[in-house]
Structure 1
Amino acid sequence: MHSHETRKHAQVRHLSHLNFIFTGWGSRVYEQTMVRLTRPLYQRVIEDLASLQLYEGKVLDVGTGPGVLARDIAHSFPRLQVYGIDLSTDMIRLARERTRQEQIKERVQFDIGDVRQLPYPDHSFDVVVSTISLHHWQELEQPLRELYRVLQPGGRVWIYDARFIKTEVVEKAQASTSFAGTPMEHQLVRTGKWPFAIYRRFALQKERQTDI
C-alpha cells in the first residue's frame, strides 16, 4: 500500500488552510491536545463496535490522524485487522511510530490516501469508521461511493462528527450513490462528562447479496 505515498503532494493540498495542524510539528501537537478531547468519542466507537460481536474481520478508520482510534480498536479487539488512512504524511508517520512502540504492527496498517480514492480492493472491510473527518470532505458523493465500494456485503459505515453537520446534506449525497434506498440512521451522541450531545453519528449498511 505504501506505493501510494508517491501521490502525497497532490493529496496534501486538500488540507487547505488547516495544513499546519496536520503536518510537521502540528501533527504531534494535535496528538497531545485534540486527541485528549476526542478520546471519549473513541470510547463510544469501541462500544459500538463491541455491539456487533465482530470477532474476526477488517476495520478501516478513515481520517485516522495519528492513529489513536485505530490502535485502540486493535487493543480492544485482538482478532481484528485494523487499517487507518489519512492524507497527512506526518500523521501517518506518527501513527506507524506509535504502532511499533505498542507492538501491534502485525495487525495494524496505516496508509496515506484520500477518502475519494481509497487504495483498497472492493469488498475489503467489514466496518468503516470515521471520526471528526466528514466536515473536511469535499463533495460527499464520491467519498460515500468509495466507502460503499470497499465494504463487504452487509458491512457497516459509522461516521461520527460534530452535531452541526446537517443530516439533509448527507442524505442528499447518499441519494446519488449506491447507498440510495438504504435507510440512514442518524443520532446525537453524548460522550464523557458533557451534559449534552456534541456529536452526531451517521450509520449506513451495505445491502447483503442474495442468490438469484
Structure 2
Amino acid sequence: MKISRYDEIARGVNAPIYEYYARKIKKETAVVEGVCLDVGSSGGYLGLALARITDLEFIFLDVSADALESAKLHIIEDGLQERAKTLLADVHCIPLADGSVNLVISRGSIPFWQEPAKALSEIYRVLTPGGAAYVGGGRGAPEMQALIRQEMARLGIEWPEMPGHTGGSGEGGSGHPPQRDYRAILKQTGIPACKATRGDDGMWIHLWKQI
C-alpha cells in the first residue's frame, strides 16, 4: 500500500483505533510526561493521538524517509512543532543514549522487526528507570472493529489481513511475516519486568524498567 493511501486511511477511517490505543497506553503505563519514542511510527499516528491526552514530547522513529515526511506534515498540522521531531533510524540500533526515554510505543511495526529480541532489548536500553514500553498491534475493541469494517466497506476499502501475529496489524502492507511466540522472545531478552498479552484488541508487549 502506498504511503499516501496508508496515510489517508490512518488519518481518516482508522483514526479511532489510534485514539483507543492512546487511551489504553496512558492507562496501562501512567507515563504522561517526559519523552516518548514512537518506533516504526510511519506517519506518527499513535504518537499524535497520545500527544492530545498527555504532556509528553515525542520522537517519531522510522526506517522510511517517506513515512517520516508524512509525520513531519502531521506534526505541523497538529501544532506540535515544539513537542515533536522525527528520527530516521532502525529499531534494532536506536541512536539514543541509555536511559533517555520515558515511554516507548509502537503499533503495527513489530511483526516486521527482523530480530525482535534485539529490538526489544534496544527499547529496554533507552528506557529511563521508571520508564515503560507498550508495543504491539491490533485494530481496537471488537465493537470498534465492526464499525470500522462497515465504514471501510461503504468507502470501498478492503479490510486488510493480519500480518505476523494474532490481533496485530497496520493499515496494510506487503508480505506476511511469520507467526512468532513473543513470550519466548521476551525470555530470550532477559528483561526482568515484562509481559506479552493477546486479547480481542490485539497482541501487546509491556516492558518496565524498575527504579
* Contact 2:194 2:205 survives alignment (8 Å): no
Gaps of 5+ in 1: 1-20, 189-196
Change (3 A) 1:104 1:144: same
Residue of structure 2 in register with 1:176 after alignment: 188
Q: TM-score, normalised by structure 2?
A: 0.73
Instruction: Find the counterpart in structure 2 of residue 59 from structure 1.
Output: 36
Query: 1:94 — aligned with what?
Result: 70
Structure (1 or 2) with the greater helix fraction: 1
SS at match of 2:79: coil
Q: Measured at CA, do residues 109 and 178 of structure 1 come closer, stay the same or move farther in structure 2, by a change above 3 Å?
A: farther
C-alpha contact 1:66 1:91 (8 A) present in aligned 2:
yes
Structure 1 partner of 2:26? 50
- The residue type paired with residue 105 of structure 1 is Q
> Over aligned residue pairs, what C-alpha RMSD do you find?
2.3
1:201 aligns with 2:201: no
Q: CA deviation at 1:167?
A: 9.3
> Secondary structure of the residue that 1:204 maps to in structure 2?
strand
Looking at both structures, which has the greater relative contact order when contacts are Cα pairs under 8 Å and sequence separation is at least 6? 2
Post-superposition CA distance 1:85-138 (Å, at most 9, x none): 111101101111221233211101111111001121111111111101111111
Structure 2 residue aligned with 1:15: none
Paired residues, what number?
174
Q: 2:90 aligns with which of 114, 130, 143?
A: 114
Q: Compare 64-73 and 51-60 and name the one that shifted more.
A: 51-60
User: Relative to structure 1, is the Cα distance of residues 138 and 167 closer, same or farther in structure 2, using a 3 angstrom cutoff?
Assistant: closer
Q: Which residue of 1 aligns with 2:120?
A: 144
One-letter amino acid of the structure 2 residue matched with residue 76 of structure 1: I
Letter in 2 for 1:149: R
Q: What is aligned with 1:81?
A: 57
State whether residues 123 and 133 of structure 2, in contact with CA within 8 Å, keep that contact through their aligned partners in structure 1. Answer: yes
Identity rate, percent: 24
Deviations 1:149-168 (A, max 9, x none): 01111211111224527997
Alpha carbons of 1:184 and 1:50: their partners in 2 closer, same or farther (altered >3 Å)?
A: closer
Higher mean displacement: 138-147 or 95-104? 95-104
Change beyond 3 A, Cα 1:34–1:102: closer
